[in-house]
């Protein structure tokens, strides 16, 4: 009898451990997606601002461009995530109907609205970094330097968090994110400067 009780207790403890591990796994996926979304918002908005800044050095133009990039990017991310998760939702509903004789467990279904909101919010958080960096600096060269510095710091942080959540090498992951962000800004700046100087005379 005692042996039976001990076995039951061990089984319950194991189930609890499995639930904890499962919950952590789901949280890690959401957090990683949030970090990637924020990184996307950071790089996209900073690159847009650098590109426009290559031919229009005034602060108002750069900030308006960054704000337009934030709104457009957040809307695009939200719509894309909503459509994607709704497709997954439909597939899972159909599977539940087949497996459970038409019974649907709504608690186990993904939420397209929550996914869209989280995606838009993550993008916006990343996009705010270069916007805030540029908004209060009037001198053009100093503004560019501040944007690059702020974006660099944020890229390193996002790379580090993404590496920790994905259990990847921290230095390599952070370096990839940082170099990728720098390349995006440099290419956008260089090509826009080239087109602005020679292609639209």
Write the pLDDT tens digit of every residue in 155-182: 999 888 878 877 778 888 889 889 999 9
Q: How far is CA 65 from CA 1, 50, 59, 68, 147, in A?
A: 73, 10, 10, 5, 14
Residue range 119-138: mean pLDDT, rounded:
92
Given a cut of 50, is residue 102 above it in pLDDT?
yes
Residue range 65-91: mean pLDDT, rounded:
92
The answer to whether the beta carbons of residues 125 and 118 sit under 8 Å apart is no
- Percent of the chain having pLDDT more than 70? 83
Pairwise CA distance, residues 189 & 102, whole Å = 56
Residue range 184-201: mean pLDDT, rounded:
82
The reported pLDDT for the residue numbered 19 is: 45
DSSP 102: T
The answer to whether the beta carbons of residues 162 and 36 sit under 8 Å apart is yes
Higher pLDDT, 21 or 49: 49
Least confident of 51-65, 96-110, 114-128: 96-110
Q: What is the pLDDT of residues 23-56, one digit of tens each?
A: 444 555 566 677 788 999 999 999 999 999 888 8
pTM over 0.85: no
Q: What average pLDDT does the chain have?
A: 82
Pairwise CA distance, residues 194 & 34, whole Å = 34
The reported pLDDT for the residue numbered 96 is: 85
């Amino acid at each position: 009898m005692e042996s039976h009780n001990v076995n039951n207790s061990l089984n319950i403890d194991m189930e609890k451990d499995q639930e904890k591990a499962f919950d952590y796994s789901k949280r890690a996926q959401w957090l990683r997606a949030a970090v990637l979304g924020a990184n996307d918002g950071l790089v996209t908005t900073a690159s847009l601002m650098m590109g426009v800044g290559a031919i229009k050095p005034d602060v108002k133009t750069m900030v308006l461009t960054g704000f337009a990039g934030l709104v457009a990017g957040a809307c695009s991310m939200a719509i894309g995530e909503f459509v994607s998760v709704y497709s997954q939702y439909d597939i899972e509903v159909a599977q539940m109907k087949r497996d459970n004789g038409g019974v649907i467990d709504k608690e186990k279904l993904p939420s397209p609205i929550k996914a869209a909101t989280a995606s838009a919010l993550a993008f916006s958080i990343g996009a705010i970094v270069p916007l805030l960096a540029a908004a209060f600096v009037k001198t053009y060269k100093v503004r560019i330097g501040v944007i690059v510095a702020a974006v660099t710091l944020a890229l390193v942080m996002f790379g580090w968090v993404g590496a920790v959540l994905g259990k990847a090498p921290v230095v390599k992951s952070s370096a990839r994110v940082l170099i990728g962000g720098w390349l995006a800004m440099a290419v956008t700046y260089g090509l826009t400067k080239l087109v602005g100087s020679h292609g639209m005379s």
